[in-house]
Amino acid sequence: MKHGKEQKNVSKKEIEKKKKRIIKIFFAILILLVIMIIAYIANDFIILENYKTTNLLINNRNVTEYLKGQVLIQDDEIYLSKQDLANFFDKYIYEDEENEKIITTYNKKIAEIGFEKNEININGSNKRINAHAIKQNDSIYLPIEELEDVYDIEINLIEDSKVLVIDSVTKEQIKAVVNGSVAVKSSKNFIARTVDRVKKGECVVVIEKNDDGYAKIRTENGKVGYIKAKKLSNEVVARQNMEEEKQIDGKVNLVWDYYSEVATAPDRKGTQIEGINVVSPSFFNINGDGKLIENIGSKGQEYINWAHDNNYKIWPMLQNAGDGMMSVTSKIMNSYENRKELIESVVNACIKYKLDGINLDFENMKKEDKDLFSRFIIELEPRMQELGLVLSVDVTAPDGSDTWSMCFDRHVIGDVADYIVFMAYDEYGASSDKAGTTAGFNWVEISLKKFLETEEIESNKIILAVPLYTRLWTEDNSGKIVKQSVVSMKDIDDTIPNNVEKIWKDDLKQNYVEYQENNNTKKMWIEDTESLKAKAGLISQYQLGGLASWEKGMETDEVWEIFEEALQ
C-alpha cells in the first residue's frame, strides 16, 4: 500500500511540473507576440540595412548578389565589369585584342571604347568622354556613365544609402506622391522587416499595384519594398514604354529577283506580283578586295521606283558569290576594322538609294570563321536598326558540310537579326553524286524543327525559303550521275515527255518521274503547285515569320495565289 501512495505522489508532482512548463511556454509566446505586434505597429521590427558595399539596382531589381565583379568607384567615375555588362546589357560584348578596344552593342547603338584615350565611338561618330576602360584584378571594367546613350539608360548613384540605380529609358515608369508617412516593408506579410521609411509628400516610383491593396515601390533612397496602395496619390506616367514598330505588318512574302553581276536590273514596270510584300534584287556583292560593289545604275533606280510605287519593301541581296571569295570573306570577318568598313558601306548605300533593308547572302565560308561571321551580324544590326531598316540573313540547313552548313551559328544569327532565312532547297544539289529531290517535305520539316528546337530560334523570326525550280538527273547504266541540270518550274512540263507517268511520293509531298533516254535513265522530283502548297503549309503550322522564294521568273502564275493563301 505504501508503494502505491508513493507512485501517486510522484504522478502529482510530474503533472504539476508539466502545468508550470506549459504556463511558462504560453506566457513566453504571448510576450513574444506582444513584442512583435508592438514592433510592427511602431515600424521598428528590424533596423534599416547598412550595406558595406554599393548595391546595384537595375530596373527596380536588386541584382547585387549576381554581380561577377563589383560596383567600382574611382576618381568620381563608376565602373562595372565587362562580365556584368554582358550579364545585364550586352551578352555579345567583345574585346578586340588587336586594336585594344571593347566593342559593345545594344538596340540601335554600337560603341567602341579603348584603354588609353578618353574617347568613345558610337555608330561611327567619335565623342570625348571623361574616362576609358580599365583593367583591374584580371577583369575589364567600363565607365558605365559613359555608356548611358549606348544602353539607353539613366544612372543615379545614391551615396547615402550606397545604391546605384540604373533605369532603362525605354521602359515605362510611373511615379506617385506618398500622402502620409509610412514604413516600407520587405514583403506583404503581417510581420516583415522595414527597408526604408518615406515621409508625407515624398515621391516614389510605383513598380506594381496588386488587387490585395498593396503597392510595390522604390523610394528616393533606392530601396524597394511594399506599402499600402492607399498611401499613394497623384500617380503620373513619367515615361512610357518605347516599342519598335515592325516594318512588315504580318508575315513576310519575299521573292528574290536575281540578275548577274554583268547584267542590269530587270524591267518590272507595269507589272505586279500578287501577294508579295518584299522584293530582293541582287544589287550588291563583294569584290576581291573585300569592298562593296553596287550593280544598280539607272535600271536599278527604275526597279526601286517600281517596287515602292507598288508598296513593296526592298531588301536587296548582299552576296559574297564568286571564285576565291572564301578567302576574301575570311579576311573581312577576321578584322574588326574590315567589318566596320563594310558595314559603313552598306549603311551609306541604304541611305543613298532609300532602301528598306538588306538580305545578307554569304555562303561558302570557313567553318573556323563561324563566330566572326556572327560578330559581323551583331555589329551590323544596330546600324540597320538606327535607320529603321530590316536585316535578314540567309542560312542553309543545319546538317551539311563545313563550308556550306557548319559555318553558321544559327542560334546567334536568329537571336540578333530581324529574320533568319532558311534556304530549304538543294537537299540534293549540283555537287551531289546521287540523284535526289531538291526539297523533300520530310527533309524540310526535320530541318525546320532543328531551327526551332535545337537552335532555339523564335518561330516568328524564321522565313522559310522554297525553290521555284528542280533538277533533271541523268544516270548511266551503272547508276552514275553523268549530268544534272536546273529546270525552272514553268518549264517542267515541256521537259518531261508526254507519255511519262507521274508518281506521287507522299513522304516527299512531290511527284516523281523516271524514264529512259539514249540508254540513260532520267529522274526528276517535281516542284509544282502541290509540292509548294505542302511546304508553304509549314508556315502556319509552326507560326513562322514568312516565306521566300527563289527566284522570280522561274514560277508558274499559280504560285503567288498559293503563297498568299498560305500566309493568310
**Tens digit of each residue's pLDDT (9 = 90 or more) over 437-456:** 999 999 999 999 999 999 99
Q: Nearest Cα to 91, choosing from 333, 341, 375?
A: 375
For residue 354, the tally of other CB atoms under 10 A from its CB is 10
Check residue 45 and give its pLDDT: 39
Hey, which residues does 177 pair with through a beta bridge?
A: 203, 233
Q: Which CATH architecture has domain 252-468+528-567?
A: Alpha-Beta Barrel (3.20)
Are 485 and 473 a contacting pair, CB within 8 Å?
A: no
Q: Nearest Cα to 251, choosing from 462, 396, 448, 449?
A: 462
Which three cell numbers mark 316? 536587296
pLDDT digits 0-9 by tens, 373-393: 999 999 999 999 999 999 999
CATH class of 55-157: alpha beta
| Domain boundaries of the chain, sorted by first residue | 55-157, 172-239, 252-468+528-567
CATH class of 172-239: mainly beta
Residue 447 CA from chain centroid, whole number: 20
Check residue 39 and give its pLDDT: 53
Helix H or strand E encompassing 42: helix 2-42
Q: Nearest Cα to 277, choosing from 258, 251, 253?
A: 253
The stretches in the chain having pLDDT less than 70 are: 1-13, 32-52
- Would the CATH topology of 55-157 be identical to that of 252-468+528-567? no
Residue ranges of the alpha helices (H) in 417-499?
441-449, 492-495
Local structure of 94: helix, strand or coil: strand
Give the chain's mean pLDDT. Answer: 93
Check residue 488 and give its pLDDT: 98
Check residue 46 and give its pLDDT: 37
Q: What is the side-by-side order of every strand in the sheet holding 139-143?
A: 72-74, 77-81, 139-143, 134-136
Check residue 34 and give its pLDDT: 64
